[in-house]
Every structure is written in C-alpha cells, then in structure tokens.
Amino acid sequence: MKTATRLVHAGRDPAAQQGIVNPPVYHASTVIFESLDALESAQQNPFKGVYYGRNGTPVQFAFEAAVAELEGAHGAVTTCSGLAAIVAAVMSVAESGTHLLVTDNVYGPTRGLCEGLLKRLGVRTTYFDPTLDAQALEALITPDTRAVFVEAPGSLTFEISDVPALARVAHAHDLTVIADNTWATPLYYDALGHGADISIHAATKYLVGHADAMLGVINCSESHYLAVRKTAASMGYCAGPDDVYLGLRGVRTLGQRLPVHQASALALADWLAERPEVARVIHPARADHPQHALWRRDFTGSSGLFAAVLQPCSRAQLAAMLDDLELYGMGFSWGGFESLILPVDPGRSRTATTWSATGPTLRIHAGLEDINDLIADLGAGLDRLGL
C-alpha cells in the first residue's frame, strides 16, 4: 500500500468498535479486572492492552500502531511531549558513568537535558559537528559511550548529517543511534531505514498539525522497544487521551498537509534568495545548501521549516519588519496550519562548531495560507527593514 493509503487506514479497526470509524476516547485511570485470573494475567504483561490509565487507552494503542506502521518501526511509545520522548529515549540507554555523542545542532532543550539532569546523574556528553564524517565520529567514541544522538536537519540551522555512515560506525561499537526526526516526519525520512534504532517525533509539530496539543512519540526497533516502553512508564510519562486523539486525527491528513507546507516553504525560500535584504537562505532542498546531495540521497521530501539570514540591520529595523507582519506569528513550535517567523541565535547553543552570520537569522514556518499572500506580507516586512 502507498503511504497516502496507509495514512488513512493505519491503526484503524472499526469492526472492534461497533463500526465507528475512529477509536473511542476513554478517560481512564482505573481498569477493573473481572477475576483474580484476569488481574494476575494482566500483571504478567502490563503493556499489553488496557491495564491502568497511565499505561495507555485504545486511542493511544491506535496512534502507536499507526505511527509505527508509517515508519516501519517494531513499536511506538507515546509521551506527553516531544521533549519527554527525547528524555525517555535517552534514559533508556544512559547510565551513570556513561557517555553520549550528541550533534551540535541539536534542539536546545535536548542540550539542556544533557547539561542539566544527565550531567547531574553522571552521564557525560560530547557534542559533534553534524557534518562530521564517520571516521571522525569514531575517534570520539570511548569505552563508556552508549549512544549517538542525531537531528537531521537541525531545527535552527538545517545541517544534514550522513546518518547511514554515522550509524554504521556507531553500530560497530554497539551504540544506540537515536534520531530526532521531527522535521521530516515519518513521511519524508525513513530514520530507522537509514540506521537509527530509535526515531523521535515531537508530534506536537506536524503529526498533531494544528498548534493545539503537546505530544511525543518514539518509534523503536525491536531490540529497543521494551526498554523505551519501560523507561517512559517508569518516568510516569503518559499523554491525555484527547491529545492522543488529536495526534491520530492529524496523521489522517498529514499526507495532504505536508506537501503544501513543502511547496510553500520552497517557494518562499526561492523568493527570499532573490531579495537584496537576504544574505542567505538555508533550506536543505535548495541546490545551494551545503549538504543538498545528502538530502537528495536520503530524504523523500522537505517540510515547511527553513531559515534565512538577513543583511546586517539594527534591532529597531528588525522590529519594524517583524512587529507589523500580518500572517506570520512570532512564537515557538511549528508544524501547525499557520505561518510563523522567529529570530534565532544559533551561535548561543553551540560548542563543537561555530555559527557565523553577520545579520539576524530568521526561522520561518510556511503554513497553509495562500503562497501569494505569504510572499506579499513578507515582502512588505523586508521593505520595512529600509535596507
């Protein structure tokens, strides 16, 4: 079956719910067992079927089945946010005294986890250049190293790592490869097929797709599934059934939404690249991106998030541009139906690499608005820079 079909049918079983198309949203803490036998057999396997509200309800099982099928995973684990998915995945392999290799372009709160909680628990992190070759990565592996964490592309600077090459080296040393695959979604990057053992999605972004729910999901290979499931459970992570429902509902239309985000982001990027106020556009699907060849080789599409570096300007000029935009909201997150723009400073959170840009960097999310309206609004904003 083609992806568009699987998006509609994955994880669905109307016959099991009186013919109703979507799974029920049960609000549940307590689950009653009918007999001592039933109780004891559930206790043998608390992750199979309903057991206790925190361990999941039917809508969560449907969401997990759908997402795992889309990415070809053995199983998926739902969490209450994308960050919780990252924490659970990393905590499933990290122990006191161990060491992690993390890409330098990683999502800020992932670095926060490494530098905060993990450091306190005695887990060390070395950051590596996302464009590092496999040999150079191998040189960073120590006997204590347990995992390599990649984010391709990084959500501020959009470098693409050669994940298959890095994964080959990592696996030769028995390391777990964890990928934050939020940007590409399961549709545009087959993280597990390219060597990741665990693929994380901030479902808050494109899977939910409507800027209204926090949700995370962890796709796992068979060898990592149970460890991740147990870690997430022991950390007490669970997502509310209404939010999981929104995640599953988002999956159904992802195949229609994502191509629009893709086309509009590319059109905006191409248009921005021609504007004199723009020093450079950073979009992996453009031929001028430094790792464009890797993106072409490994990805089947690009989503709606990219960056542009402006020519140097003052804060007042930047404010004049941003404050009066009509269609682009300034705010965190992305992946919803609406366009966003955010000034970012990628240099602030790097240690293994440097970030050089003379002007401000803007991260742009192309929403589902009409592309001509998006261009007109951004064009008026660039005019207000007065460069």
User: Which positions touch ligand PLP (CB under 6 A)?
Assistant: 81-83, 107, 151, 155, 180, 182, 202, 204-205, 214, 216, 333
Q: Closest separation between CB of residue 216 and ligand PLP, Å?
A: 6
Phi, psi of 80 (to 5 degrees): -80, -10
220: its two tokens: 């796992």
Tell me whether residue 317 or residue 361 sits nearer to ligand PLP (CB atom): 361
The residues, ordered by sequence, that sit 6+ positions from 23 with a Cβ below 8 Å of its Cβ are 12, 13, 17, 58, 59, 62, 245, 248
One of 104, 107, 111, 328 is an active-site residue; which one?
107
Q: 19 or 236, CB closer to ligand PLP? A: 236
**Contact yes or no for 103/154 (Cβ under 8 A):** yes
Q: In a 3-state reduction of DSSP, which class is residue 73?
A: coil
SS3 assignment, position 67: helix
**Edge-to-edge order in the sheet of strand 198-202:** 75-79, 216-220, 198-202, 176-180, 145-151, 99-103, 124-128
Rounded to a whole number of angstroms, the minimum distance from the CB of residue 124 to ligand PLP is 22
Task: Between 283 and 384, name the residue whose CB sits nearer to ligand PLP.
Answer: 283
Q: Closest approach of Cβ 178 to ligand PLP, in Å?
A: 12
Which is catalytic among the residues 111, 146, 205, 363? Answer: 205
Q: Which is nearer to ligand PLP, 67 or 321 (CB)?
A: 67
CA distance 118 to 87: 10
Q: Is 205 a catalytic residue?
A: yes
Query: To the nearest 10°, the Cα dihedral for 55, 61, 63, 68?
Result: 100
Residue least distant from ligand PLP (Cβ): 82
Match 């790792």 to its residue by tokens: 291
Which of 104, 162, 180, 190 does the annotation list as catalytic? Answer: 180
Q: Which is nearer to ligand PLP, 11 or 153 (CB)?
A: 153
Question: What are the residues whose beta carbons fall under 8 Å from the beta carbon of 297, sequence distance 6 or more?
Answer: none
Residue 330's Cβ-count burial label (10 Å; 0-12, 13-18, 19+) is exposed
Which phi-psi region, left, alpha or beta, contains residue 104 (left: φ > 0; alpha: ψ -120 to 50)? Answer: alpha
How near is the Cβ of 204 to ligand PLP at its closest, in Å?
A: 3
CB of 151 to ligand PLP, least distance (A): 6
Strand partners, 281: 308
Residues 6 or more apart from 366 whose CB is under 8 A from it?
Answer: 261, 264, 265, 267, 268, 304, 305, 306, 339, 374
CB of 182 vs ligand PLP, minimal distance in Å: 4
Specify whether 107 is catalytic: yes
- Out of 13, 26, 48, 54, the active site residue is 54
Pick between residue 176 and residue 303 the one whose CB is nearest to ligand PLP.
303
Q: Which residues are catalytic?
A: 54, 107, 180, 205
